[in-house]
A = this chain, B = another copy of it.
Amino acid sequence: MDRAQSILRENGLKATKGRLEVLKLFIGAGRPIAQKEIMAMARLKLDRASVYRVLNAFLEAGIIHKAYMDGRHAVFELPDSCGEDHCHPHFSCRGCGATTCLKGMKVYSEGSPGKGFTMERQKVLIEGLCPRCSS
């Protein structure tokens, strides 16, 4: 039984063709991907609605999380270099739109959100210009 299969098993999700395909794409990609990319990269034809349902199932199980919003669409990834309560930062290029995981950066917060707030996860997005677009 391969890695994708056991992840689904562990999370009580039926190992359907579509789910295996999508999960393998995430494992292979090693970077955040969007629904559109998933459709494009998939070898077997997947229905748009089904891909969204797979993504939502993975989200609910915590297999993936929403890394950030790229304009109007969400981009997902496997948690990697992420703690329980924070994710690694992402860099979004204003020039070409490309996004980079900043797994080497750490983020510290000072002060508290206020009495009564329960913080569950912190997401950091840094905007700017990537090396190609800076020059």
Taking the complex as formed, is A115 at the interface, i.e. its CB lies under 8 A from any CB of chain B?
A: yes
Residues of A in contact, count (CB < 8 Å): 38
Q: How many copies of this kind of chain does the complex include?
A: 2
Known contacts A72-B72, A109-B107; decide if A120 and B114 are in contact (CB<8 Å): no
Please pick, from B107, B114, B117, B135, the residue contacting A107 in the complex, using a CB distance under 8 A. Answer: B107
Contact with B along A77-102 (1 / 0, CB 8 A): 00000000000010100100000101
Min CB distance, A76 to chain B, in Å? 14
Q: Which residue of B lies closest to A101 (CB)?
A: B113
Q: Which of A's residues lie within 8 Å of B, judged by CB?
A: 69, 72, 89, 91, 94, 100, 102, 104-132, 134-135
